[in-house]
Amino acid sequence: MIKKPEFTRADVDIIRREEMYKRFFRVEKIFLRHKLFEGGWGKEIGRELFVRGEAVAVVLYDPKNDLIGMVEQFRVGALNEPNGPWCYEVVAGMLEEGESPEDVARRELIEEANIVPYAMEYICNYLSSPGGCDEKLHLFCGLCDLSQAGGIYGLPEEGEDIRFHILAADDVFAELLNGAFNNAAALICLQWLQLNRARLRVSASSE
C-alpha cells in the first residue's frame, strides 16, 4: 500500500500573491514557504502559477462495433510538432461555475461530436502539469453508437473548427505510442480503454 504524502496544504504558508496576467487565462506569482523533509520551514520562494482550473475529457467508444471516436482540431501549442498543429484528441472542455464534471462531459459531447452516450464510466483525474499549472482533468469513457457518427462540429463563435473521426479500435491501438496521439488526456483515456475494452465488449454483447 502506498502511503499518502507526509505533508498537506496546512504545511504551506502563502505569504502574498501577485496577479501577473489576466485574460482568458490567468497567471499569478505566489510567494510562499513550506515545511522541509528534514524538519523546519524553508525560506520564502516565489513561484509562477498558470491558473487554468478544472476540465473534463471523454473518450468515446462503441463496444458493439469496436469503434473509437476522436476529434481533430488546430492547437497553437503544437505548432512545431513533426505532424503539424492539428491534433487527434478526446472530447474536452472546461468546468464552469455550478457544473459537475459529468455535466461538462455531456455538454461537450454534443458541441464537439453531436453524441449523447447511453452510459458513462469515470476513469480517473490527474494534474496536467503541477510544477506550474493548477489544471485538473477528470477523464470519462462515453459508451455510444458510433456507426452513423462523424462530421464537423464546434462553436464558430469560439473559433472552434472540429472534425469528429470514427476509427477502428485495432487501428487506434496499433498507432497508440507512435506520436499520433500526442497529448496526455488522449493517451491516458486510450490506455484505459485498451485495458477495459474486452470487459466493455462482453457487457455490450450481453445486453
Q: Where are the domains of the chain?
A: 9-51, 54-205
Kindly tell me the burial class for residue 50, based on how many C-beta atoms sit within 10 Å of its own C-beta (0-12, 13-18, 19 or more): middle
Residue 155: per-residue pLDDT: 84
Where the chain has pLDDT below 70, the residues are none
Say whether 72 is catalytic. Answer: no
Residue 206: per-residue pLDDT: 77
Residue range 54-205 forms a domain whose CATH class is alpha beta
Helix or strand (DSSP H, E) at 18: strand 12-22
Q: Which of 6, 97, 157, 158 is catalytic?
A: 158
Residue 156: per-residue pLDDT: 85
Report whether 90 contacts 58 (CB < 8 A).
yes
Residue 138: per-residue pLDDT: 98
Bridge partners (DSSP) of residue 35 are: 41
**What is the C-alpha to C-alpha distance for residues 174 and 159, in angstroms, rounded to an integer?**
32
Residue 157: per-residue pLDDT: 85
- Nine-digit cell at 174? 496499433
- Nine-digit cell at 167? 476509427
Residue 181: per-residue pLDDT: 93
